[in-house]
């Protein structure tokens, strides 16, 4: 693979660069006595820095075996295959079915996606109609049969790869109410019916039904991060609902962490808050002041007059480096799930479970004699 300089694009120069790149790749390959089990990904090219040519050579052993060879001569390196290997191994398809419509979902790792939705208006079952009752029942059966056949056909389109003609998911979960899901199971293509891992009853349809189905099938789909996130954050929500042992928000959670009273730390994996350590200019040996500021906030001017910045790092990086020192367990969560997004928006992406009940800063009694100057330093999340 070649990375051509952006300012020189003549045919002769391109040919010369390609030949030089291929010679470099062959020389690099000659240093390997055997090919690694997963194959090799080689990247070589030239870039222009300060008017000079600089060669880039990188060799990567993939995490998983490469299924086929790929050669590209382009102005950029193609990393798509390697990125795909970083994704979760297992993807599950969820079919959520009720009398108002059906939805298809994909679940992989900690991410989920709704890939298809169809709403219907099926006739309801009732005892009215007199002599026409049998006609109404027949009409309902016909429409119900069309509906379940439509679901089975749509499943082929979305869960079977049209090129390889094999399922593109590890397993299928059928979730619904009444007998609809059982009728769909009977009509499913054999390639899909063979990989059905669970058939469950749910009370809702759509996204709510999907979340309920995930909770009911966590033993069937294994140790997926999506399920782990739901259980972790649900545990925190349970403690909050009964006013138990919990801390939420930046200030309370970091107080619990640094005091050693936090048992489980729940952290958003994309937290952008900075941890700023200040020391007094005139007496640097005094205890430092710690501020937690979002990207759009700066240190107040009245603080900057007496304090100077000793360190300024992302709180996420600081926690990853130091959390073990305080004896707490770390759970990283994303905002890709509904409950994860709620955790980020509601609590700032930081919270946790306490070892025992403690007095946190947000619950401390307010000292009315405190100066307004101190209040200016309190950043509420």
Report whether pLDDT(106) > 60: yes
Quote the pLDDT of residue 368.
41
Q: Which residue has the higher pLDDT, 282 or 374?
A: 282
Separation CA 347–CA 364 (nearest Å): 19
Report whether pLDDT(18) > 50: yes
pTM for this one? 0.51
Under a CB-based contact definition with an 8 Å cutoff, are residues 245 and 353 in contact? yes
Separation CA 103–CA 64 (nearest Å): 32
3-state secondary structure of 283: coil
Structure tokens at 132: 């026409």
Separation CA 352–CA 245 (nearest Å): 9
Mean pLDDT confidence for 369-375: 38
Domains and CATH numbers, the chain: 11-85 (3.30.960.10), 91-222 (3.30.420.60), 232-375 (3.30.1330.30)
274-280/289-293 β-pairing: antiparallel
% of the chain at pLDDT higher than 70: 83
Report residue 49's pLDDT band, with 50, 70 and 90 as the boundaries. confident
Report whether pLDDT(1) > 60: no
């Amino acid at each position: 693979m070649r990375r051509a300089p952006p300012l020189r694009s003549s045919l002769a120069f391109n040919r010369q660069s390609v030949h030089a790149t291929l010679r470099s790749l062959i020389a690099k390959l000659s240093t390997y006595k055997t090919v690694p089990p997963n194959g090799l990904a080689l990247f070589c090219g030239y870039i222009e820095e300060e008017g000079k040519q600089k060669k880039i050579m990188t060799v990567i052993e993939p995490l998983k075996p490469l299924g086929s060879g790929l050669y590209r001569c382009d102005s950029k390196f193609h990393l798509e295959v390697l990125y795909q290997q970083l994704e979760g191994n297992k993807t599950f398809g969820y079919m959520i079915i009720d009398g108002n419509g059906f939805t298809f979902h994909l679940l992989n790792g900690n991410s989920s996606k709704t890939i298809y939705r169809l709403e219907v208006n099926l006739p309801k079952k009732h005892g009215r109609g007199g002599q026409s009752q049998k006609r109404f029942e027949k009409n309902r059966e016909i429409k119900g049969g069309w509906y379940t056949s439509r679901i089975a056909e749509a499943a082929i389109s979305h869960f079977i790869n049209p090129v390889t003609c094999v399922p593109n998911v590890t397993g299928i979960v059928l979730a619904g109410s009444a007998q609809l899901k059982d009728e769909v199971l009977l009509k499913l293509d054999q390639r899909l019916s063979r990989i059905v891992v669970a058939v469950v009853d749910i009370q809702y349809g759509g996204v709510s039904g999907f979340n309920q189905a995930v909770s009911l099938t966590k033993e069937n789909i294994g140790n997926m991060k999506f399920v782990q996130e739901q259980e972790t954050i649900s545990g925190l929500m349970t403690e909050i609902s009964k006013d138990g042992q919990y801390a939420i928000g930046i200030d309370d959670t970091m107080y619990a962490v640094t005091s050693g009273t936090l048992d489980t730390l729940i952290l958003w994996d994309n937290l952008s808050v900075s941890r700023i350590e200040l020391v007094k200019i005139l007496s640097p040996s005094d205890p430092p002041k710690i501020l937690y500021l979002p990207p759009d906030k700066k240190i107040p001017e009245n603080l900057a007059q007496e304090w100077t910045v000793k360190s300024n790092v992302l709180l996420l990086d600081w926690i990853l480096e130091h959390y073990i020192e305080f004896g707490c367990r770390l759970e990283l969560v994303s905002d890709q799930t509904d409950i994860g997004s709620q955790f980020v928006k509601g609590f700032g992406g930081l919270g946790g479970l306490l070892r025992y009940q403690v007095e946190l800063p947000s619950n401390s009694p307010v000292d009315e004699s405190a100066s307004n100057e101190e209040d200016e330093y309190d950043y509420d999340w």
